[in-house]
Amino acid sequence: MSIDSLIRNTIRSDVLATPGYHVADASGFIKLDAMENPYPLPDHLATDLANRLANVALNRYPVASYASLKARICQQLGVPEGYDVLLGNGSDELISILDMACAHQDRRAVVLSPVPTFVMYARSAKFAGMDFVGVPVRDDLTLDKDAMLAAIAEHKPALVYLSYPNNPTGNLFDEDDMVEIIRALGDTGIAVVDEAYEPFAQKSFMHRLPEFDNLVVMRTVSKLGLAGIRLGYMSAAPQLLEQFDKVRPPYNVNVLTQVAAEFALDHIAVLNEQAAVLREQRALLSAALAAIPGVHVFPSAGNFILARVPDAEAATAYLLSHKVLIKNVGKMHSVLSNCLRITVSTPEENAAFLDAFKASQAA
């Protein structure tokens, strides 16, 4: 038996043709490529959390309802009264749940989104057996509402993902344009507003859930400072959320994540203070980059900055050789030609990045 033959005969051809999702080894690097909060919990809170985790019953499955964690999320994170949340292993699992629930077997099912955007919208759609339709943003990275509405009329998508703010561009799409898109879907499509960067945008559709039966608002605690525990949550009309919950694997959030998240939400003020510091650093880093000749900085509502530079490949290679990791997004889409995405970090790491980047431009 040949392993190559086995793979060809059993694995889907579109999976075989799809490259793996590569995550660079960041050991020994200043890590500015993954939009993480650089600040750990204060020592006294870390000690308290360690004590709580030590008492977790690892021999037992989680309580399947996750009632206590969901109650904290609803109370602390602005979920409207009468609405619940569904939990996932990060946003990635929530996207997979949405796609699996909407991937009709008897007819063509479509996922639609502006592009460039979060790559998992297209990857998850493909793995669920759905078609993905990307609608390019304008050259200034704003949403092309007319093109979106035309694509909705043509393809009748089951799901439309709207990243708010968008990754990797960092901008907030126009709120009125988004509402028009949500309404255009009517009762034949679901709009998913992905608010992964809400702590830095300070803008949300969460409070508007009661206005739209076809709206899902999805978030993650990763960007807030808890990337390591892998927890995402989404809310929607109760009847709609009930259908998505049928697809969710039982016990999909582990007990350590549950306890750590409950603890963090009990101390949400600390994480909100860290987000405020990063918003301040975003403004300072944006201004410093914009002052460098040849660099164009785009407005950002996330915890990262998109900048167009004269030579993204050369800058990335130079930074890599100086142990600084950033993301070269220039090959994602033509509108991002020579663009870098830089995570906003501590003043010290931002300064180290700026020194290395300025040197790369002078080299």
CA-closest candidate to residue 209, choices 94, 78, 93, 90: 78
Q: Is the pLDDT of residue 299 over 80?
A: yes
Domains and CATH numbers, the chain: 3-42+269-362 (3.90.1150.10), 58-266 (3.40.640.10)
Instruction: Please give the C-alpha separations between residue 94 and each of 88, 118, 176, 319, 357, in angstroms, as whole numbers.
Output: 5, 14, 26, 34, 36
Q: How high is the mean pLDDT of the chain?
A: 95
Return the pLDDT at 26. 77
In the structure, what pLDDT confidence band is assigned to residue 105 with cuts at 50, 70 and 90?
confident
Q: Is the pLDDT of residue 14 over 90?
A: no
Phi, psi of 161, deg, nearest 5 = -95, 130
Q: Is the pLDDT of residue 346 over 90?
A: yes
42-59 per-position pLDDT tens digit: 999 999 999 999 999 999
Taking residues 324-350, report their average pLDDT: 97
Q: Is the pLDDT of residue 22 over 80?
A: no
Please tell me whether residue 194 adopts helix, strand or coil conformation: strand
Q: Is the pLDDT of residue 1 over 80?
A: no
Q: What is the DSSP string of 302-356?
A: SSEEEEE-S-HHHHHHHHHHTTEE-EE-TTT-GGGTTEEEEE---HHHHHHHHHH
Written as six digits, the tokens of 192 are: 């998913």
Between CA 143 and CA 120 the distance in angstroms is: 19
In the structure, what pLDDT confidence band is assigned to residue 359 with cuts at 50, 70 and 90?
very high
308-320 per-position pLDDT tens digit: 999 999 999 999 9
Taking residues 218-242, report their average pLDDT: 94
Give this prediction's pTM: 0.95
146-201 per-position pLDDT tens digit: 999 999 999 999 999 999 999 999 999 999 999 999 999 999 999 999 999 999 99
Paired strand residues for 192:
161, 216
Taking residues 69-86, report their average pLDDT: 97
CB of 87 within 8 A of CB of 136?
Answer: no
Q: Is the pLDDT of residue 17 over 90?
A: no
Alpha helix (H) residue ranges in the chain = 3-10, 13-16, 43-54, 67-76, 90-102, 120-127, 145-155, 175-185, 198-201, 238-247, 255-266, 268-290, 312-321, 347-362
Return the higher-pLDDT residue of 137 and 23: 137
Return the pLDDT at 20. 83
